Amino acid sequence: MTVTDLFDLSGRVAIVTGGGKGIGLQMATGLAELGADLLLCARKPERCEEAAGALSDAFDIRAIGMRCDVANPDEVQAVMDRALSELGRIDVLVNNAGTVWGSPPEDIPLEGWQKVVNVNLTGVFLCSQAAGRVMLGAGSGSIVNIASVAGLHGGDPEYMNALPYSATKGGVIAFTRDLAWKWGRRGIRVNAIAPGWFPSDMSQYVIGPHADELVKRIPLERFGGPEDLKGAVALLASDAGAYITGHTLVVDGGQSA
């Protein structure tokens, strides 16, 4: 097979949670460019529906947008059911949906902690479990969990005072490693991507007031751009990454080097 063949996703179906905007939409676009049919979901379905329509028109693929609160098991199952009924299969799951709570650790309310854990960690579990059941039946599949460099090391409170976010992203990395062991022999690869600073609605509250200081800590001297995660998700979702599982691919411009 050629390298082009290895990256080809024609005929495959990918689910991207939080796929209607930001890095979720960037990764969904990359998968669409390789020929994958898509189901994009988020708590605000309008963005996903709009993105699905645009990607369908641009790349001649099938694409669906719908609502899903990833912390709700019934809504997660509804996503899987619709993917199967309208697209016919589930080959790739990108667990991208996430949230954050910014506050000094001593001031974090329990509801703030639980909100982040429910979305960032429980949501990854529920979506992986539901999609995994389908993939196990098929004997193949790829799960790509979106972690963060915040899950690899501590953060300066002057810039990153979000303990629940860091804790859950570290949990996603551990979840990825262990699930890769559990399902690898049954045909499912499980990997993670740990992005660094990418401008988004969620990160802008940090990047906005601290851009000059933060970029000095990045060897490539820039923040992540609109193409920088496409190659990473393409590798892990496609046959190009067929011998990669349990890995966390850091995409941060060298920040954690």
Cα separation, 212 vs 17, in Å, equals 31
* CATH number assigned to the domain comprising residue 36: 3.40.50.720
Dump the DSSP string for 105-169: GGG--HHHHHHHHIIIIIHHHHHHHHHHHHHHHHT-EEEEEE--GGGTS---TTT--BHHHHHHH
Q: Domain of 172?
A: 3-251
**Catalytic residue chosen out of the listed positions 159, 165, 205, 243:** 165
Give the tokens for residue 142: 């790829």
Residues 6+ apart with CB under 8 A from 216: none
Confidence at residue 209, expressed as pLDDT on a 0 to 100 scale: 81
Whether residue 256 lies inside any domain: the answer is: no
| DSSP summary character for residue 252 | S
Confidence at residue 208, expressed as pLDDT on a 0 to 100 scale: 78
Whether residue 136 lies inside any domain: the answer is: yes
Cα separation, 185 vs 249, in Å, equals 21
Q: What's the domain count of the chain?
A: 1
Distance of CA 231 to the CA centre of its chain: 13
> Tell me: the pLDDT tens digits for 108-154?
999 999 999 999 999 999 999 999 999 999 999 999 999 999 999 99
Whether residue 119 lies inside any domain: the answer is: yes
Confidence at residue 204, expressed as pLDDT on a 0 to 100 scale: 78
Q: Which parts of the chain sit beneath pLDDT 50?
A: none
Dump the DSSP string for 52-104: HHHHHHHHT--EEEEE--TT-HHHHHHHHHHIIIII----EEEE-------B-
Element (H, E) at 250: strand 248-251
Give the tokens for residue 131: 């999609």
Instruction: Give, rounded to a whole angstrom, the gap between the first and last alpha carbons of the chain.
Output: 34
**CA triple 173-176-181, angle to 5 deg:** 135
Dump the DSSP string for 186-239: TTEEEEEEEE-----TTTHHHHHHHHHHHHTT-TTSS---TTTTHHHHHHHHSG
Confidence at residue 130, expressed as pLDDT on a 0 to 100 scale: 98
Task: Please count the other Cβ atoms lying within 10 Å of the Cβ belonging to residue 60.
Answer: 9
| Identity of the residue numbered 26 | Q
Q: What is the mean pLDDT of the chain?
A: 96
Whether residue 257 lies inside any domain: the answer is: no
Q: Which long-range contacts (CB under 8 A, 24 or more apart) does 82-86 make?
A: 82/39, 83/13, 83/15, 83/39, 84/134, 86/62
Whether residue 52 lies inside any domain: the answer is: yes
Confidence at residue 202, expressed as pLDDT on a 0 to 100 scale: 75
Is 165 one of the catalytic residues? yes
Say what angle helices 123-138 and 73-82 make with each other, to 10 degrees: 30
Confidence at residue 58, expressed as pLDDT on a 0 to 100 scale: 98
Is 105 exposed, middle or buried (CB count within 10 Å of its CB: 0-12, 13-18, 19+)?
Answer: exposed
